[in-house]
Amino acid sequence: MDFGLKGKTALVTGGGSGLGKAICEILAQEGTNVVVHYRSNEESVLRFVEHLNETYEGKSMAVKGDMSKESDLDNLFDTACKHYQKIDILVNNAGIWPKAYVKDMSVSEFENTMKINLQSPFILCKKMINHLIDQERKGKIINIVSQAAFHGSTSGHAHYAASKGGLVTFTVSLAREVAKHGINVNAVAPGIMETPMITANMSEEMIKKSYHERIPLQRISTPEEVAYTVAFLASNKTDYITGATIDVTGGMLMR
């Protein structure tokens, strides 16, 4: 199926690893120019971008930045605009998953989680909608949230769940504001995935014990399985979908 993404330009935060990397690859497969945002592992990210450029028709580039710094976010967006002249798709994927129970959580831990997981998407969304409105063009914004936004957390991730819950309602509010401009704003809520962020914090045995019995499909997902939903929402097949959150959790979240 032709998703109508050939020649489009997408900015993907946290695009150097895990889900973000899978999103970048699938968008590139569709002929999209991809701006791969990253914060660390520069050598690996540059090799990945080289692979995208050698393998697919679109032209990709990497831009480094700290999501907690507004100046870096400005540079990320402005660099992408200068290079490609336009951005058609914004995927707010970058995030952190720190662990601390509320009784032990510091204010700085809570604030940092909100800054990266909620404030940085707000800043980039604001830049994106003004960019599209100024150019009188339609566009797509996809925010990566989590099943935790709806289930909450009992495992020391209350600040993460709160940030993702905030991003869900922000997505709905923004979708209402900008629908008249032809800008679609949606979210994807993954469950547990096989990503470095997860495996760095949980052993395979912990994952099986904590999640497999709670997932009706009885397995965790690959990043690619979630990334296909992101590509679908970025496509011209979803022009009549806005303000929605699509759950990709293997049935862990059913609403």
Say what the pLDDT of residue 137 is: 97
pLDDT class of 2 with cuts at 50, 70, 90: confident
Residue range 118-141, pLDDT digits in tens: 999 999 999 999 999 999 999 999
Distance CA 41, CA 55 (A): 21
Q: Position 104: which residue type?
A: D
Q: Which of 76, 16, 23 is nearest to 50 (CA)?
A: 16
- For the chain, the first-to-last Cα distance in angstroms comes to 28
Share the mean pLDDT of the chain. Answer: 94
Backbone torsions φ then ψ of 251, nearest 5 degrees: 90, 0
Note the Cα 208 to chain centre separation in Å. Answer: 25
pLDDT class of 237 with cuts at 50, 70, 90: very high
pLDDT at 144 over 70: yes
Q: Position 6: which residue type?
A: K
The domains of the chain are located at: 9-245
CATH number of 9-245: 3.40.50.720
Say what the pLDDT of residue 209 is: 65
Say what the pLDDT of residue 161 is: 96
Say what the pLDDT of residue 205 is: 64
Which residues are annotated as catalytic? 160
Q: Which of 33, 30, 56, 82 is nearest to 233 (CA)?
A: 30
Say what the pLDDT of residue 75 is: 98
129, 182 contact by CB (below 8 A): no
Q: What pTM was computed for the model?
A: 0.94
Residue range 205-216, pLDDT digits in tens: 666 666 677 889
pLDDT class of 25 with cuts at 50, 70, 90: very high
Residue range 35-90, pLDDT digits in tens: 999 999 999 999 999 999 999 999 999 999 999 999 999 999 999 999 999 999 99
Q: Which of 82, 92, 12, 87 is nearest to 52 (CA)?
A: 12
pLDDT class of 204 with cuts at 50, 70, 90: low
Q: Which of 35, 16, 39 is nearest to 27 (CA)?
A: 35
Q: Position 137: which residue type?
A: R
Say what the pLDDT of residue 150 is: 95
Residue range 149-202, pLDDT digits in tens: 999 987 899 999 999 999 999 999 999 999 999 999 999 999 988 877 666 655
Distance CA 210, CA 202 (A): 10
Distance CA 119, CA 38 (A): 17
